[in-house]
Protein backbone atom coordinates (compact mmCIF):
# COMPACT_ATOMS: atom_id res chain seq x y z
CA UNK A 1 0.00 0.00 0.00
CA UNK A 2 1.17 3.50 -0.81
CA UNK A 3 0.14 6.63 0.97
CA UNK A 4 -0.33 9.74 -1.09
CA UNK A 5 -1.66 13.14 -0.06
CA UNK A 6 -3.57 14.93 -2.82
CA UNK A 7 -5.18 18.34 -2.34
CA UNK A 8 -7.61 20.22 -4.60
CA UNK A 9 -7.52 23.99 -4.80
CA UNK A 10 -9.07 26.75 -6.82
CA UNK A 11 -11.55 29.59 -6.71
CA UNK A 12 -15.27 29.26 -6.02
CA UNK A 13 -17.26 27.19 -8.49
CA UNK A 14 -14.25 25.54 -10.16
CA UNK A 15 -15.68 22.03 -9.82
CA UNK A 16 -13.31 20.73 -7.15
CA UNK A 17 -15.84 18.54 -5.38
CA UNK A 18 -16.84 16.91 -8.68
CA UNK A 19 -13.23 16.02 -9.42
CA UNK A 20 -12.59 14.83 -5.86
CA UNK A 21 -15.56 12.47 -6.27
CA UNK A 22 -14.37 11.23 -9.66
CA UNK A 23 -10.85 10.57 -8.41
CA UNK A 24 -12.28 8.69 -5.41
CA UNK A 25 -14.28 6.48 -7.81
CA UNK A 26 -11.17 5.79 -9.87
CA UNK A 27 -9.21 4.82 -6.76
CA UNK A 28 -12.07 2.58 -5.67
CA UNK A 29 -12.02 1.00 -9.13
CA UNK A 30 -8.40 -0.09 -8.71
CA UNK A 31 -8.91 -1.12 -5.10
CA UNK A 32 -6.73 1.65 -3.61
CA UNK A 33 -7.60 2.46 0.00
CA UNK A 34 -8.48 6.13 0.17
CA UNK A 35 -10.13 8.77 2.28
CA UNK A 36 -11.95 11.92 1.21
CA UNK A 37 -12.08 14.99 3.41
CA UNK A 38 -12.36 18.74 3.15
CA UNK A 39 -11.48 22.08 4.69
CA UNK A 40 -12.78 23.74 6.62
CA UNK A 41 -14.41 20.70 8.19
CA UNK A 42 -13.66 17.01 8.22
CA UNK A 43 -13.84 16.66 12.01
CA UNK A 44 -16.44 17.51 14.66
CA UNK A 45 -14.46 20.63 15.56
CA UNK A 46 -13.88 21.51 11.92
CA UNK A 47 -17.58 21.31 11.11
CA UNK A 48 -18.40 23.75 13.91
CA UNK A 49 -15.61 26.10 12.82
CA UNK A 50 -16.87 25.84 9.23
CA UNK A 51 -20.32 27.09 10.26
CA UNK A 52 -18.72 30.14 11.85
CA UNK A 53 -16.41 30.85 8.91
CA UNK A 54 -19.09 30.66 6.23
CA UNK A 55 -21.82 32.50 8.17
CA UNK A 56 -22.71 35.63 6.14
CA UNK A 57 -24.09 37.27 9.29
CA UNK A 58 -20.63 37.42 10.90
CA UNK A 59 -17.96 40.04 10.38
CA UNK A 60 -14.56 38.38 10.86
CA UNK A 61 -11.25 40.22 10.66
CA UNK A 62 -8.50 38.71 8.47
CA UNK A 63 -6.33 37.50 11.38
CA UNK A 64 -9.04 35.65 13.32
CA UNK A 65 -10.33 34.33 9.99
CA UNK A 66 -6.94 32.81 9.24
CA UNK A 67 -6.58 31.43 12.77
CA UNK A 68 -9.98 29.74 12.54
CA UNK A 69 -9.07 28.07 9.24
CA UNK A 70 -5.79 27.02 10.85
CA UNK A 71 -7.58 25.61 13.89
CA UNK A 72 -9.75 23.44 11.66
CA UNK A 73 -6.64 22.38 9.70
CA UNK A 74 -4.61 21.51 12.81
CA UNK A 75 -7.37 19.23 14.08
CA UNK A 76 -7.92 17.63 10.67
CA UNK A 77 -4.23 16.83 10.16
CA UNK A 78 -3.94 15.24 13.60
CA UNK A 79 -7.27 13.43 13.76
CA UNK A 80 -7.79 12.35 10.15
CA UNK A 81 -5.05 12.99 7.58
CA UNK A 82 -1.91 11.75 9.38
CA UNK A 83 -3.55 8.57 10.65
CA UNK A 84 -4.87 7.75 7.14
CA UNK A 85 -1.46 8.32 5.57
CA UNK A 86 0.08 6.12 8.27
CA UNK A 87 -2.35 3.37 7.28
CA UNK A 88 -1.02 3.67 3.72
CA UNK A 89 -4.11 5.34 2.27
CA UNK A 90 -4.48 7.92 -0.46
CA UNK A 91 -5.95 11.07 1.12
CA UNK A 92 -7.97 13.48 -1.03
CA UNK A 93 -8.57 16.85 0.60
CA UNK A 94 -10.85 19.51 -0.88
CA UNK A 95 -8.79 22.64 0.00
CA UNK A 96 -5.81 22.82 2.36
CA UNK A 97 -3.08 25.30 3.36
CA UNK A 98 -2.77 26.81 -0.15
CA UNK A 99 -6.31 28.18 0.29
CA UNK A 100 -5.10 30.17 3.29
CA UNK A 101 -2.13 31.44 1.29
CA UNK A 102 -4.43 32.52 -1.55
CA UNK A 103 -7.51 33.77 0.37
CA UNK A 104 -6.00 35.14 3.58
CA UNK A 105 -2.60 36.01 2.06
CA UNK A 106 -3.20 37.29 -1.47
CA UNK A 107 -6.90 38.09 -0.87
CA UNK A 108 -6.91 39.65 2.61
CA UNK A 109 -3.29 40.80 2.62
CA UNK A 110 -1.92 38.92 5.65
CA UNK A 111 1.87 38.61 5.70
CA UNK A 112 3.53 35.55 4.28
CA UNK A 113 5.82 35.09 7.30
CA UNK A 114 2.82 34.93 9.65
CA UNK A 115 0.96 32.53 7.35
CA UNK A 116 3.95 30.23 7.03
CA UNK A 117 4.78 30.18 10.75
CA UNK A 118 1.24 29.28 11.79
CA UNK A 119 0.78 26.86 8.89
CA UNK A 120 3.93 24.97 9.80
CA UNK A 121 2.60 24.47 13.33
CA UNK A 122 -0.94 23.65 12.21
CA UNK A 123 0.14 21.07 9.65
CA UNK A 124 3.23 19.78 11.43
CA UNK A 125 4.96 20.45 8.10
CA UNK A 126 2.71 18.06 6.21
CA UNK A 127 2.90 19.16 2.56
CA UNK A 128 0.76 17.54 -0.17
CA UNK A 129 2.44 15.19 -2.67
CA UNK A 130 0.20 16.61 -5.38
CA UNK A 131 -1.97 19.73 -5.51
CA UNK A 132 -4.54 19.97 -8.28
CA UNK A 133 -5.30 23.61 -9.03
CA UNK A 134 -8.52 24.03 -10.98
CA UNK A 135 -8.02 27.49 -12.40
CA UNK A 136 -11.01 29.60 -13.38
CA UNK A 137 -11.93 33.22 -14.06
CA UNK A 138 -13.51 34.29 -10.74
CA UNK A 139 -16.44 35.99 -12.50
CA UNK A 140 -17.37 32.64 -14.06
CA UNK A 141 -16.79 30.74 -10.81
CA UNK A 142 -18.87 33.12 -8.71
CA UNK A 143 -21.73 32.90 -11.22
CA UNK A 144 -21.56 29.10 -11.05
CA UNK A 145 -21.49 29.18 -7.24
CA UNK A 146 -24.41 31.65 -7.14
CA UNK A 147 -26.54 29.31 -9.23
CA UNK A 148 -26.15 26.73 -6.43
CA UNK A 149 -27.88 28.87 -3.81
CA UNK A 150 -27.34 31.63 -1.28
CA UNK A 151 -23.72 32.89 -1.33
CA UNK A 152 -21.69 32.18 1.83
CA UNK A 153 -19.51 34.77 3.59
CA UNK A 154 -16.52 34.30 1.26
CA UNK A 155 -18.61 34.17 -1.90
CA UNK A 156 -19.99 37.59 -0.96
CA UNK A 157 -16.54 39.18 -1.13
CA UNK A 158 -16.05 41.38 -4.21
CA UNK A 159 -14.54 40.46 -7.56
CA UNK A 160 -11.25 42.25 -6.81
CA UNK A 161 -10.74 40.01 -3.77
CA UNK A 162 -11.48 36.89 -5.82
CA UNK A 163 -9.17 38.08 -8.60
CA UNK A 164 -6.33 38.41 -6.05
CA UNK A 165 -7.13 34.92 -4.79
CA UNK A 166 -6.83 33.49 -8.28
CA UNK A 167 -3.55 35.30 -8.90
CA UNK A 168 -2.31 34.03 -5.54
CA UNK A 169 -3.03 30.42 -6.49
CA UNK A 170 -1.28 30.81 -9.83
CA UNK A 171 1.77 32.38 -8.17
CA UNK A 172 1.99 29.48 -5.70
CA UNK A 173 1.80 27.00 -8.56
CA UNK A 174 4.53 28.81 -10.47
CA UNK A 175 6.81 28.60 -7.42
CA UNK A 176 6.29 24.84 -6.94
CA UNK A 177 5.70 23.33 -10.38
CA UNK A 178 6.62 19.85 -9.14
CA UNK A 179 3.79 19.78 -6.62
CA UNK A 180 1.09 21.58 -8.61
CA UNK A 181 -0.97 20.36 -11.54
CA UNK A 182 -2.70 23.43 -12.98
CA UNK A 183 -5.79 22.71 -15.06
CA UNK A 184 -8.17 24.97 -16.93
CA UNK A 185 -11.44 24.36 -15.10
CA UNK A 186 -13.54 25.35 -18.14
CA UNK A 187 -12.53 22.10 -19.87
CA UNK A 188 -14.94 19.17 -19.84
CA UNK A 189 -15.12 17.26 -16.53
CA UNK A 190 -14.17 13.99 -18.32
CA UNK A 191 -11.00 15.53 -19.71
CA UNK A 192 -10.03 17.00 -16.34
CA UNK A 193 -10.64 13.63 -14.71
CA UNK A 194 -8.22 11.93 -17.13
CA UNK A 195 -5.47 14.49 -16.51
CA UNK A 196 -5.85 14.18 -12.75
CA UNK A 197 -5.87 10.39 -12.91
CA UNK A 198 -2.69 10.41 -14.99
CA UNK A 199 -0.89 12.64 -12.46
CA UNK A 200 -2.03 10.51 -9.52
CA UNK A 201 -1.08 7.31 -11.34
CA UNK A 202 2.41 8.67 -11.97
CA UNK A 203 2.93 9.42 -8.32
CA UNK A 204 1.57 6.10 -7.14
CA UNK A 205 3.91 4.31 -9.55
CA UNK A 206 6.89 6.34 -8.43
CA UNK A 207 6.13 5.64 -4.78
CA UNK A 208 5.58 1.93 -5.30
CA UNK A 209 8.87 1.97 -7.24
P1 LIG B 1 -16.65 25.80 0.57
O2 LIG B 1 -18.13 25.80 0.59
O3 LIG B 1 -15.94 24.56 0.95
O4 LIG B 1 -16.18 26.38 -0.79
P5 LIG B 1 -15.70 25.64 -2.06
O6 LIG B 1 -16.82 24.74 -2.47
O7 LIG B 1 -15.41 26.76 -3.02
O8 LIG B 1 -14.46 24.90 -1.64
O9 LIG B 1 -16.18 27.00 1.47
C10 LIG B 1 -14.89 27.19 1.82
C11 LIG B 1 -14.60 28.66 1.70
O12 LIG B 1 -13.53 28.99 2.58
C13 LIG B 1 -14.16 29.04 0.30
O14 LIG B 1 -14.72 30.29 -0.02
C15 LIG B 1 -12.66 29.21 0.45
C16 LIG B 1 -12.49 29.63 1.85
N17 LIG B 1 -11.21 29.25 2.48
C18 LIG B 1 -10.34 30.26 2.90
O19 LIG B 1 -10.62 31.44 2.74
N20 LIG B 1 -9.18 29.90 3.52
C21 LIG B 1 -8.85 28.60 3.77
O22 LIG B 1 -7.77 28.30 4.34
C23 LIG B 1 -9.76 27.57 3.32
C24 LIG B 1 -9.45 26.13 3.56
C25 LIG B 1 -10.94 27.95 2.69
Mean pLDDT value across residues 133-162: 92
Q: Which three-class secondary structure state does DSSP give residue 87? A: coil
Q: How far apart are CA 37 and CA 4, in angstroms?
A: 14
| In the chain, beta strands by DSSP E | 4-9, 34-38, 90-94, 130-135, 180-184
Mean pLDDT value across residues 163-179: 98
pTM flag (> 0.85): yes
Question: How confident is the prediction for the chain on average, in pLDDT?
Answer: 95
Mean pLDDT value across residues 51-72: 97
How long, in residues, is the chain? 209
- What pLDDT sits at residue 29? 95
For ligand 1, pick from 42, 58, 99 the residue to mutate: most ligand atoms within 8 Å of CB: 99
113-124 tens-digit pLDDT: 999 999 999 999
Mean pLDDT value across residues 168-185: 98
85-99 tens-digit pLDDT: 999 999 999 999 999
CB-hemisphere CA count at 13 Å for 110? 23
State in Å: Cα 154 to ligand 1 middle: 7
Residue spans per domain, the chain: 4-208
Show the ligand 1 pocket: residues with CB < 6 angstroms. 12, 16, 39-40, 54, 69, 94-95, 99-100, 103-104, 152, 154
- Asked: is 4-208 a CATH 2.30.110.10 domain? The reply is no
- What pLDDT sits at residue 205? 76
pLDDT band at 8 (very low <50, low <70, confident <90, very high): very high
What residues have CB less than 8 Å from 38, skipping those under 6 apart? 17, 20, 93, 94, 95
Amino acid sequence: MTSLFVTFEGPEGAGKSTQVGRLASRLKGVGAAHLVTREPGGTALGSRVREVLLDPALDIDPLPEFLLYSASRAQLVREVIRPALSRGEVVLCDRYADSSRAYQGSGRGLETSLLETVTREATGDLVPDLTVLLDLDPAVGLARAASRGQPDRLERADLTFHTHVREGFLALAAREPGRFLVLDATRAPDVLEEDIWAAVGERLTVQTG
